[in-house]
Amino acid sequence: MTGPAEPWRTWAGDESCVPAVWERPGSVTEVVDAVGRAAARDQTVRVAGSGHSFTPVVLTDGTLLSLERMSRVLDVDTATGLVRAQAGVSLNALSETLWDHGLALENLGDVDVQSIAGATATGTHGTGARLRNLSAALVSVELVAGDGTVHELSATDADGGDAWRAARVSVGALGVITAVTVRTVPAFVLRGLDAVEGREQVLQELDARAAAHDHFELFAFPYAGRVITRTNDRVHSEPRPRGRVGAYVRDELLTNKGFEAICRLGRARPSLIPRLNRAATALGSAPAHVDRSYRVFATPRSVRFNELEYAIPREHAATAVRAVLAMIEERRLPISFPLELRTVAPDDALLSPAGGRETAYVAAHVYQGMEWQPYLREVEAIMRSFDGRPHWGKRHFRTAADLKPAYPEWEAFQAVRDRLDPGRRFTNPHIAQILGP
């Protein structure tokens, strides 16, 4: 199905493009045909997920493919936990189907509206010291390459699994992923608890907290001596879904509308931000939320922002958070969003930011309509001093030349890229900047 040219835009709203052709294939054959048509027109191709990356990674003036018509769960094997799904399925829709079969994704980030292919392509992760990013659950990947051939990539391939390890975190630079097989776990219930605690004490206890809980993260507002901690643990009890009113008050009024009002006020009167941040921190505790895993992991998000997130060796986590907060506070920067700190276990995808090392992710956000580049450049400089690697879906200023030394298996990824897309059908200026021509 080919649509008329219309604008495509990111969730944050500040990156957009008008593709020459926008295709919505409904099958692998239709994807192959669409790639063939783009080649005949000598156009590059990008695939859009749900637009939740902050960077211009999806943008194209050539052919844009949307897999919204390829969003079905194809097969559920409850005995092995292996589940086959089309690449356009959202994490939420997948989780709902899995729950009905007594299964779940092992971990999720803080939203679940992304497509499975889009989320894994950028190394999307949740938090959990023993848990890897989402792409680590991909047992096999079906991909349409630059010449229109269809490949099923897995660990047991003749290339030693290199193409599979490349395709799990591909940044959309290898081809169109059309389906994936995911390893799932038995369905579980989480008890989520948000609390307000002293900043320095939590930073000192970081390793112990991360080790003691299934999922631990913190939010540190600049200018506030306290942080909000979020602790999610598996419990053996039935879900206790919050009533509609309770969920509305917590998620919509306090988390979204309340926080939006605070951010707006801070944008209009930056001198108020230190006081507003202390008030926002105080609002951070919440009663325990016991529910299906994916309903505790993910929360609705309506406050728009720009974000950078860096993966750094875990041992530097507390020092890095302190360094960014000190930089903000010394320079009196008008930052109304908290730093977010999460932990992720190492994995073996060739371009995974958490690849090969125990990782802490540090994220910095800037409210929409506020200048984000100078601050995020400063944060990036601090993260680079800790040997950081940027999240592929979030703002950063790196180039292929300086990313290459950060990835021991960079050349192996490029060799797979040369094999699957030698003519560079799947590129755009951003891909050329971060992965090279």
* Residues at the interface with ligand FAD (CB under 6 A): 11, 46-53, 57-58, 67, 87, 109-111, 114-115, 117-119, 121-122, 124-125, 171-172, 176-177, 301, 391, 393
Nearer to ligand FAD, 122 or 140 (CB): 122
Residue 255: CB minimum distance to ligand FAD, A: 12
Among residues 223 and 317, whose Cβ is nearest to ligand FAD? 317
Whether 144 contacts 35, CB under 8 Å: yes
- Min. distance of Cβ 371 from ligand FAD in angstroms? 19
Q: In the complex with ligand FAD, which residue's Cβ is closer, 70 or 328?
A: 70
Please say which residue, 324 or 351, places its beta carbon nearer to ligand FAD: 351
Cβ of residue 173: shortest distance to ligand FAD, in angstroms? 7
User: How far apart, in whole angstroms, are the C-alpha atoms of residue 152 and residue 159?
Assistant: 13
Burial class (CB in 10 A: 0-12, 13-18, 19+), 207: middle
CB of 418 to ligand FAD, least distance (A): 17
Sign of the torsion angle spanned by Cα atoms 367, 364, 11, 400: positive
Compare residues 84 and 278 and give the one whose CB is closer to ligand FAD.
84
Q: Tell the smallest beta-carbon distance from residue 330 to ligand FAD (Å).
A: 29
Number of helices (H) and strands (E) in the chain: give both, helices first.
15, 21
Pairing verdict, β 63-66 and 45-48: parallel
DSSP letter at 242?
P
Nearer to ligand FAD, 58 or 349 (CB): 58
Beta-carbon contacts of 157 under 8 Å, excluding residues fewer than 6 positions away, are 163, 164
CA 352 to each of CA 147, 151, 413, 422: distance values in angstroms, whole numbers, following the listed order: 26, 21, 11, 22
**Closest CB to ligand FAD among 189 and 308?**
308
CB 392 → ligand FAD: shortest distance, Å?
A: 7
CA 192, distance to chain mean position in Å, is 20
Task: Let me know if 227 is exposed, middle or buried by CB neighbors in 10 A (0-12, 13-18, 19+).
Answer: buried
CB closer to ligand FAD, 174 vs 223: 174
Task: Report in angstroms how near the CB of residue 316 gets to ligand FAD at its nearest.
Answer: 19
Contact 163, 153 (CB under 8 A): yes
> Residue 256's closest CA among 111, 109, 108?
111
Rg (CA), the chain: 21
The distance of closest approach from Cβ of residue 274 to ligand FAD in the complex, given in angstroms and rounded to an integer, is 25
